[in-house]
Structure 1
Amino acid sequence: MDWTNPAEIWAAYSDSIIGFGLNALGALIVLIIGLRVASWLGNLVKRTALKQESIDNTLGNFFGSMVRWAITAAVLIAALQVFGVQATSLVAILGALTLAIGLSLQGALGNIASGIMIMIFRPYKLSDYVELAGVAGTVKEINLFQTVMATPDNVQIMVPNSQAIAGVIKNYSGFPTRRVDVTFGIDYNDDMDKAISIIHGIVEADDRIMSDPAPFIKVVNLNDSSVDIQSRSWVKGADYWDVKFDITKKVKAAFDEQGISIPYPHTMMIQKSS
């Protein structure tokens, strides 16, 4: 064969070139369509699960993620087969690559296992306000690899599932009620009983505060420049911040009106005559 003659090269290898091109085109079509189908089915499973009252949002999102990734893996295998890689050869290749993939993807596989554990033990769910791996936010999504949260100022935080479940988990939405603790410092010359009575009246007037357990309002500490009175009240979890802010504001206004001062740290200089 004359390798300088394009006509002879094409005549000899045209069938192979055309076959390779058709296989590549078929694999590309399978890949594009398959990935679209995987995304569509994943979203369909998610939407269907969210409509079922017996399945909460956390499981619905997780099921949708699992379906999408499972179909994506099947599509990749199908695309390789269309490309010309036989099933037996594919199994051999996957077997040879299993160890390397397992070592290189230890973190990803650990996240998947951790995601499954989160679904089983349910330490938190969608819309819960939690602290994971040292960061706090509202849970927006739990997928195979990570937990997506939003901070109160709407910053997106993505915590790998392995880190989320490995550390201490604080779930501020785990119970229906929470205790609101607010500490007020008054001057040593002020009437403690009067200050307690003022705080007590404000707490009793708030319908969001529960009567059982009864609110706790007592002197808890003697600081260098103040007598500390703490109010501990039980409320529904959703009312926690509003009650905390309202009590702080109303007590400050009532103290000003009733002549109760809130001191600030200061330094007193004493000069001795020689």
Structure 2
Amino acid sequence: MNETITAMGGYEALALNVIKAIVFLILGYFFAGFASRIVRDRLGKVERLDQTLAVFFSSLVRWGVLAVVVIAVLQLVGFQATSLVAVLGAASLAIGLALQGTLSDVASGVMLIIFRPYRLGDYVEVGGTAGTVKEINLFVTELATPDNVQIIMPNSKARSSVITNYSAHPTRRVDITFGVDYSDDADKAIELITAIATSDERVLKDPEPWVRVVNLGESSVDITARLWCNSADYWDLKFHMTKAVKEAFDKDGISIPYPHRVEVVKKAS
């Protein structure tokens, strides 16, 4: 009878520890998120600290707190610290092999933070996928495409891919090619394009606008304008120049020809 009572007491104690462990795990999960947000908000207010680092450190705090919570929960249900260390040591090789991709993502995330090929808010193209960087954490980089589609990319893939950062430099060059008819005055077309470019405040004076005939195509004389502007003005300037030059050509009688070919038939002598 005493043994039965003792066994029942042991089961009750175990059940109580399991309930405590579940409650502790839930509370720990929410505390990890809370601590992560606190770190992100506090570091985000430091002017000299890059926001990319703030996001990364907040992610590091979250996963660190979760690791401590899991260890504490295991101890609460009966795993002693020494036994836990032994188990972890014995399983480290198997876990490392099973999670080598995840560990590679973590290592790549650290390298991305150290060398910072891109930062939060940069518009980049990584491995053929383009978008604005929204978040960099321990495991993944989150991008948002221009049409606001979320792209989740493992850090290991991002680090091993070719990265094109369109926001890295403060200025960019806009290249626009216009085709005019062979019967039109190319010099007049160049003057119109140059006048429109120099009158736009977004076009930088240094380097000055460059407008030249670059090719004699099958259907048109191709004139390219190379204009420097601030990176933030790139697309607005490109769209504006395309429309403004078309309207100026229409007003001055310069035509933009449709693709066509002239067929020459030779008669036999």
Alignment TM-score, normalising by the size of structure 2? 0.96
Return 33-42 or 260-269, whichever deviates more.
Answer: 260-269
- 1:48-96 CA distance string (max 9 Å, x none): 0001112121111111000000110110000000011111110111111
Pairing 1:97–2:91 present: yes
1:265 aligned counterpart, secondary structure: coil
2:212 aligned counterpart, secondary structure: strand
Instruction: Give the one of 251, 254, 258 matched to 2:252.
Output: 258
Return 198-207 or 22-31, whichever deviates more.
Answer: 22-31
Instruction: Give the one of 20, 23, 38 matched to 1:26.
Output: 20
What is the deviation of 1:34? 0.9
Pairing 1:40–2:55 present: no
2:151 aligned counterpart, secondary structure: strand
Report the Cα distance in structure 1 between the residues aligned to 2:241 and 2:154, rounded to whole angstroms.
38
Q: How do residues 11-160 of structure 1 correspond to structure 2 at under 5 angstroms?
A: 11=5, 13-160=7-154
Instruction: Give the one of 162, 170, 192 matched to 2:156.
Output: 162
1:174 aligned counterpart, secondary structure: coil
- 1:6-58 CA distance string (max 9 Å, x none): x9996462022112101111111211111111110011000100011121211
Counterpart of 1:174, as a letter, is: A
Q: State the identity %.
A: 54
Give the length in aligned residue pairs.
Answer: 268
Report the Cα distance in structure 2 between the residues aligned to 1:164 and 1:139, rounded to whole angstroms.
12
Alignment TM-score, normalising by the size of structure 1? 0.94
Please tell me whether the aligned partners of residues 218 and 260 of structure 2 are also in contact (alpha carbons under 8 angstroms): no
Please tell me whether the aligned partners of residues 133 and 159 of structure 1 are also in contact (alpha carbons under 8 angstroms): no
2:141 aligned counterpart, secondary structure: strand
Pairing 1:208–2:191 present: no
Report the Cα distance in structure 2 between the residues aligned to 1:46 and 1:12, rounded to whole angstroms.
50
Pairing 1:221–2:215 present: yes
**Unaligned ranges ≥5, structure 2:** none
1:254 aligned counterpart, secondary structure: helix
**Unaligned ranges ≥5, structure 1:** 1-6
1:115 aligned counterpart, secondary structure: helix
**CA root-mean-square deviation:** 1.6
Counterpart of 1:255, as a letter, is: F
Report the Cα distance in structure 1 between the residues aligned to 2:116 and 2:264, rounded to whole angstroms.
61
Report the Cα distance in structure 1 between the residues aligned to 2:260 and 2:90, rounded to whole angstroms.
73
What is the deviation of 1:165? 1.1
Return 260-269 or 187-196, whichever deviates more.
Answer: 260-269
1:184 aligned counterpart, secondary structure: strand
Q: How do residues 188-199 of structure 1 correspond to structure 2 at under 5 angstroms?
A: 188-199=182-193
Report the Cα distance in structure 1 between the residues aligned to 2:6 and 2:205, rounded to whole angstroms.
92
Report the Cα distance in structure 2 between the residues aligned to 1:181 and 1:9, rounded to whole angstroms.
88
- 1:102-154 CA distance string (max 9 Å, x none): 11111110111111111111111000001112101000000000110101110
Report the Cα distance in structure 1 between the residues aligned to 2:89 and 2:167, rounded to whole angstroms.
45
